Amino acid sequence: MKFPQKSIYAKLDEVPIMPLFNHPDIETSKAVAKACYDGGIRVFEYTNRGKGADKVFAALVKYIRDEFPDMAIGIGTIYNAQEAEYFVSLDADFIVQPTLDAGVAKVCQQNQMAWFPGVLTANEIYQAHLLGADIVKIFPANVLNPSFIKSIKSILPKVEMMITGGVEPTAQSLNTWFGAGAKAVGMGGQLFPKDILEKNNFDWIETTVRNCISIVKGKHE
């Protein structure tokens, strides 16, 4: 682990978009990470999905450490403490979950690393807060109305939320979620359409990322 919790949060304050990506090919994954970095991303999640995901992640960590030392790389789709400990050993900067698990929370606390648990209900959000989460991952957000975020903020004002699932790379979508009180957004397939990856159109990814960041920072024309 290279970046402590506060550093991860500071990077998300500056650029509140976290790409989440998975691909079995190491070179494709490197090219996507570069496109995201060139577009302005400084916090990148690789998801633990599919056989060999750990090998791709390990290669990405080395690549990013060497080529983009100011970009943090974390691992997503972690369910239990054993998985968390394994990816800590692979030098993950942070851990993202689709669910909420106290064992993973403990591993992250022991290693003083950022932890983003996946939650959906008010009770889950509160439990994550009690377990030490500074920022929770609202997932899948596409089943919610943005007004839900406003309602949660009214009763749990200290809990910050990263919206993941269904966030589109458009001004309407981004402005709606951030306007509702989101701290950050996680974006996966919307940034990496299958046809774009098949064509190795990494310039499209870089441009889309840059446009999203401009929208969030209020500079998009």
- In tens, the pLDDT along 76-86 reads 999 999 999 99
Which pLDDT score is estimated for 218?
Answer: 83
Residuewise pLDDT in 10s, the chain (221 residues): 799 999 999 999 999 999 999 999 999 999 999 999 999 999 999 999 999 999 999 999 999 999 999 999 999 999 999 999 999 999 999 999 999 999 999 999 999 999 999 999 999 999 999 999 999 999 999 999 899 999 999 999 989 999 999 899 999 999 999 999 999 999 999 999 999 999 999 999 999 999 999 999 985 44
221 within domain boundaries: no
187 within domain boundaries: yes
Helix (H) or strand (E) holding 16: none
For residue 54, give the CATH number of its domain. 3.20.20.70
3-state helix/strand/coil string of 133-185: CCEEEECCHHHCCCHHHHHHHHHCCCCEEEEECCCCCCHHHHHHHHHHCCCEE
What is the number of other CB atoms lying within 10 angstroms of the CB of residue 136?
Answer: 27
83 within domain boundaries: yes
* Residue bearing tokens 């200290």: 158
153 within domain boundaries: yes
* Residue bearing tokens 């589109």: 168
pLDDT (tens digit, 9 = 90+) per residue, 103-119?
A: 999 999 999 999 999 99
Q: What phi and psi values does residue 189 have, to the nearest 5 degrees?
A: -60, -25
Helix (H) or strand (E) holding 96: strand 94-96
Which pLDDT score is estimated for 1?
Answer: 78
Dihedral sign computed on CA atoms, order 190, 93, 68, 23: negative
Which pLDDT score is estimated for 221?
Answer: 44
Q: How far is CA 89 from the centre of its chain?
A: 20
- Say what the pTM is: 0.95
Which pLDDT score is estimated for 219?
Answer: 57
109 within domain boundaries: yes
Residue among 102, 157, 95 at smallest CA distance from 127: 102
Tokens describing residue 104: 């993973």
Domain residues for 79?
5-216
Residue 17 DSSP SS3: strand
174 within domain boundaries: yes
Dihedral sign computed on CA atoms, order 170, 193, 23, 205: negative
Q: Where are the alpha helices (DSSP H) in the chain?
A: 5-14, 26-39, 53-67, 81-89, 102-110, 122-130, 147-155, 171-180, 194-198, 202-216
Number of domain units in the chain:
1
Residue among 159, 154, 155, 125 at smallest CA distance from 139: 125
